[in-house]
Amino acid sequence: MKFEQFQLERNQSLWEGKVDYNLSESGVHPGTIKSLFDADLIEKIENTEITYGFTEGSIELRNAIASIYTGATENNVQVFNGSAEANMVAILTLMEPGDEIVYMVPNYLQIYGFARGLGVNVTTFALKESLGWKPDMDELKSMVTEKTKMICICNPNNPTGAVLSKDMVHGIGKIAQEVDAWILVDEVYRGAELNRKECTSFWEIDYDKTIVNCGLSKAYGLPGLRIGWSISNADYIQKCWATNDYTSLSVGRLSDVIASHVLHPDNRMKTLGRIRDALTENLNIFQKWVDNYSDHFSFIPPAAGAMAFIGYDWEINSTELFEKVRKEASVLLVAGDWYGMDRYLRFGYGASQSHLMAALDRVTTIFQSL
């Protein structure tokens, strides 16, 4: 068992505390407990015993999560320390060395690297910029065979912010069902749509071998809580719970209390509304900046999330350009190389407006020199 270096995470960890401006994040700048929550919740937090959390998530939290997905109950939900743990546990629970995964790219490459480290064979299908960062469905169908045990999707997509149509979601479901393959879907950006309409969840295809993973880090702007979840059929939930007994065991008690409040049906859309407002304002700022480089950039504005994936035509490798921006402007971006796509950069535009504008001013100097 040998894991390749996770370049994106390693470079963020190395440099995020050593630059003046961090535009490598893909979520909205988080608030504080005092700025986000009312006195009643703060008092509840202050009077909650700091004991072990519930290994499957509290009943209050699982009911709140289930309410997001039509027809789901608490028996369809397992809570994790972030969606990253939900992804890892899914691979540990279902995959064996030699099994085959068909994997969407570009994508957050955690599942890709983790599965390969366990001896799983991973083949990729590409989103097409010419199709608005959507897949060629015929190409995907041709790649999925009787050997395919799992199809891995990220929707809304990281890093492009593209969103699959309802027809594509159901089309992928049909492709998986034809070969009895699992569908593992990262929906951590669902809820952060710029048009303020939640995109179709893969839960809606009503296929037992679907696992939807999500969490509070991105669309909800609460990464420090480290709350994620899987929603799937009750049998899989029992199996992944058993796997989780060997990983982190449970989420933090205080995180569970806060997440139960945030995801309660009375509160959830208030949080998402605040995030969408911030994204809309910041994307307008970012788009005006991009327009200054229209001769050099290719850019399809994101439909969801707090990240922008931009192609460029300068004769410089994306990791080299990342290093140049970091060293000369003290701004952290994400190199397209880390997604296997040179001549692209990912900008996080979810920072505070003052931070975003100051960082873009710094980067402007670098790009003018090119």
pLDDT at 2 over 90: no
Structure tokens given for 158: 């990281």
User: In this structure, are residues 331 and 19 in contact, taking their beta carbons and an 8 Å threshold?
Assistant: yes
Confidence class of residue 150 from pLDDT cuts 50, 70 and 90?
very high
The reported pLDDT for the residue numbered 294 is: 85
pTM of the model: 0.96
pLDDT at 96 over 90: yes
User: In this structure, are residues 236 and 76 in contact, taking their beta carbons and an 8 Å threshold?
Assistant: no
pLDDT at 349 over 90: yes
What's the average model confidence in pLDDT over 134-156? 98
Instruction: Domain 7-32+270-369: give its CATH code.
Output: 3.90.1150.10
Q: Where in the chain is the domain with CATH 3.40.640.10?
A: 51-268
What's the average model confidence in pLDDT over 204-213? 97
Instruction: Name the pairing type of β-strands 148-154 and 182-186.
Output: parallel
Residues 6+ apart with CB under 8 A from 369: none
Q: Rounded to whole angstroms, what are the CA distances from 83 to 1, 80, 133, 216, 321?
A: 23, 7, 23, 8, 30
Average pLDDT score, the chain: 97
CA–CA distance, 69 with 51 (Å, rounded to integer): 29
User: In this structure, are residues 90 and 184 in contact, taking their beta carbons and an 8 Å threshold?
Assistant: yes
Q: Kindly state the DSSP code that residue 278 receives in the 8-state scheme.
A: H
SS3 per residue for 122-168: EEEEEEEHHHCCEECHHHHHHHCCCCEEEEEEECCCCCCCCCCCHHH
Confidence class of residue 108 from pLDDT cuts 50, 70 and 90?
very high
**SS3 call for 231:** strand
What's the average model confidence in pLDDT over 330-342? 96
pLDDT at 296 over 90: yes
Domain 51-268 has CATH 3.40.640.10: yes
CA–CA distance, 20 with 351 (Å, rounded to integer): 13
